[in-house]
Structure formats: structure tokens, C-alpha cells
């Protein structure tokens, strides 16, 4: 599949996690194209289709171009532990570098397309483009801190508020509405991500709605009292 060079590509690249590496490091045309020729557009993946599985050999990282990706492992009780959700512009596969194998499964929650970067080629390019190397270091470093977001002992309310606020900010950062969006994942997925029972997720969302914090119908959420949600989330997100 040849790289698409349409309107959409331009819009996506400006909100992608590599955008600053691609666009705003003062690269000249030839350097820019060197990074762009590494990109392979893959997909679309259908909802429920796996992108990679735990143990698969690692050779590329990928930026989500469209859709939502869920990563998860299955614990010894056969229960799914969701590790993260990846929205358009975010990068999957960074935790696979160490062992050269993917440590988790990745599955498409809706129709997903990706920009795939060969990691060996990207590393090689990074030795010639210090800005790209720095960018990769920062991406990796960022994910170290992100993973400890769930590590604290927080209440169900705090976890849920933090989840919604974080989602809101990520959508807003990519140009979508931060106050009105669709949950692309099931309640069960949210529960497995927040380490709660799905019943607890239902109950908390119901109570948030009763208290006027938000309005939720099916998968459609509208944040009504952002201030109070931010306040609850602050304990988790630390800002």
C-alpha cells in the first residue's frame, strides 16, 4: 500500500506523536522525507481484530492513525488485564523494545489504521538525526511515568474521574472535543483497566450522573462539571 498523500495525511501528521520529530525540528526537506519513507500505512483492522499478540517478535512501533487500540494481558485466573488504550496520534509497541517481543496483546476496538515504523531503521536514522533520537528518548521516558498512573491505591471515584479527564485531555490535544466524546471501549474494558469490577464502573458512572457531573447514554459521554471531575482526578494525575 503506497503512502497516501491526501488531506487526511496532513491533518493526521500534525497531531501524531511524531509530529514534532517530523515537522518542527527544523529539518530540511531531505531529512523530513527520510523519516516519511520509513512509514508504512497498515490496516484497516476490523473491530476485534488483533494487531499483535503477546510473544510476537518485535520489529516495529506504530502510531495510531485512526480508531482505538487496547493492549491487554490475560492473568493466571483467565481474566483480562487491560494495560492501556491508544487514541489517534499515540504510539504502541514502545515496551516491546527491551525483550524484542511484544509483552502484551493489542486489539482494535473499532476500525483501526496505523502508521508503522521499522524500529531498526528508525534507530539507524536516529543516529543521524539527533532531534529524532531525543524524541524517541522522550516518548519512552513519558511512558514510564504513565504506567504508574494506576499504581496508587485510589478510590473507584478517583480512578474513574482520572480516566475521564485523561481521555478528555487526550482527545482535546488531538483536535477533538474534550467535553463530548464517545467511549470506544466496553464497560468491562474500563473496569479491567482501572482494576475495578464492571459493576463498580456502572455504579460510579450512575452516581456521577445523578450528581450532575456528567451525562452518559450508552457509550456517549458529556462532561458537565469539569471542575469537580478535575478535582477528584487530581489525586491520581498529580497536577
The binding site for a copy of itself (CB under 8 A) comprises: 73, 75-77, 81, 83, 94-98, 103, 123-124, 126-128, 130, 133-134, 136-138, 140-145, 147-148, 150-153, 195, 234-235, 238
Site for DNA in 57-116 (CB under 7 A): none
CB-wise, 95 or 168, nearer to a copy of itself? 95
Angle in degrees, CA 67, 69, 160, rounded to 5: 100
8 A C-beta contact, residue 161 and residue 234: no
Could you tell me the smallest distance in angstroms from the CB atom of residue 89 to a copy of itself?
16
Question: What whole-number distance in Å separates Cα of residue 130 and Cα of residue 126?
Answer: 6
Question: What whole-number distance in Å separates Cα of residue 232 and Cα of residue 173?
Answer: 21
CB-wise, 30 or 76, nearer to a copy of itself? 76
Could you tell me the smallest distance in angstroms from the CB atom of residue 143 to a copy of itself?
5
End-to-end CA, the chain: 43
Could you tell me the smallest distance in angstroms from the CB atom of residue 184 to DNA?
10
216 near DNA, judged by CB under 7 A:
yes
CB-wise, 152 or 175, nearer to DNA? 152
Question: What whole-number distance in Å separates Cα of residue 99 and Cα of residue 92?
Answer: 15
8 A C-beta contact, residue 212 and residue 225: yes
Site for DNA in 148-207 (CB under 7 A): 153, 155-157, 186-188, 195-203, 205-206
CB atoms within 10 A of CB 32: 15
Could you tell me the smallest distance in angstroms from the CB atom of residue 175 to DNA?
25
211 near DNA, judged by CB under 7 A:
no
Angle in degrees, CA 168, 169, 175, rounded to 5: 95
Could you tell me the smallest distance in angstroms from the CB atom of residue 74 to DNA?
15
237 binds, among DNA, a copy of itself, none (CB under 5 to 8 A by kind): none
- Pairing type for strands 180-182 and 220-223 reads antiparallel
- Give the chain's radius of gyration (CA, Å): 19
Binding positions for DNA, rule: CB under 7 A: 153, 155-157, 186-188, 195-203, 205-206, 216, 218-219
Amino acid at each position: 500500500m503506497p503512502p497516501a498523500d491526501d488531506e487526511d495525511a496532513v491533518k493526521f501528521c500534525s497531531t501524531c506523536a511524531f509530529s514534532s520529530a517530523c515537522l518542527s525540528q527544523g529539518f530540511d526537506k531531505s531529512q523530513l522525507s527520510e523519516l516519511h519513507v520509513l512509514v508504512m500505512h497498515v490496516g484497516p483492522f476490523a473491530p476485534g481484530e488483533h494487531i499483535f499478540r503477546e510473544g510476537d517478535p518485535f520489529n516495529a512501533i506504530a502510531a495510531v492513525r485512526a480508531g482505538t487500540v487496547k493492549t491487554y494481558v490475560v492473568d493466571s485466573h483467565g481474566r483480562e488485564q487491560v494495560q492501556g488504550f491508544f487514541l489517534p496520534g499515540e504510539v504502541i509497541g514502545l515496551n516491546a523494545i527491551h525483550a524484542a517481543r511484544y509483552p502484551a496483546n493489542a486489539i482494535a476496538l473499532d476500525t483501526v489504521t496505523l502508521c508503522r515504523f521499522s524500529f531498526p531503521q528508525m534507530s539507524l536514522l536516529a543516529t543521524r538525526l539527533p532531534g529524532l533520537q531525543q524524541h524517541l528518548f522522550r516518548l519512552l521516558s513519558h511512558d514510564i511515568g504513565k504506567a504508574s498512573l494506576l499504581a496508587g491505591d485510589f478510590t473507584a471515584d478517583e480512578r474513574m474521574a482520572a480516566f475521564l479527564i485523561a481521555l478528555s485531555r487526550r482527545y482535546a490535544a488531538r483536535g477533538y472535543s474534550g467535553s463530548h466524546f464517545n467511549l470506544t471501549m466496553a464497560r468491562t474494558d474500563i473496569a479491567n483497566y482501572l482494576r475495578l469490577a464492571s459493576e463498580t464502573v456502572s455504579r460510579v458512572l450512575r452516581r456521577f450522573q445523578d450528581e450532575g457531573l456528567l451525562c452518559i447514554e450508552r457509550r456517549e459521554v458529556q462532561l458537565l462539571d469539569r471542575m469537580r471531575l478535575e478535582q477528584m482526578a487530581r489525586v491520581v494525575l498529580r497536577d
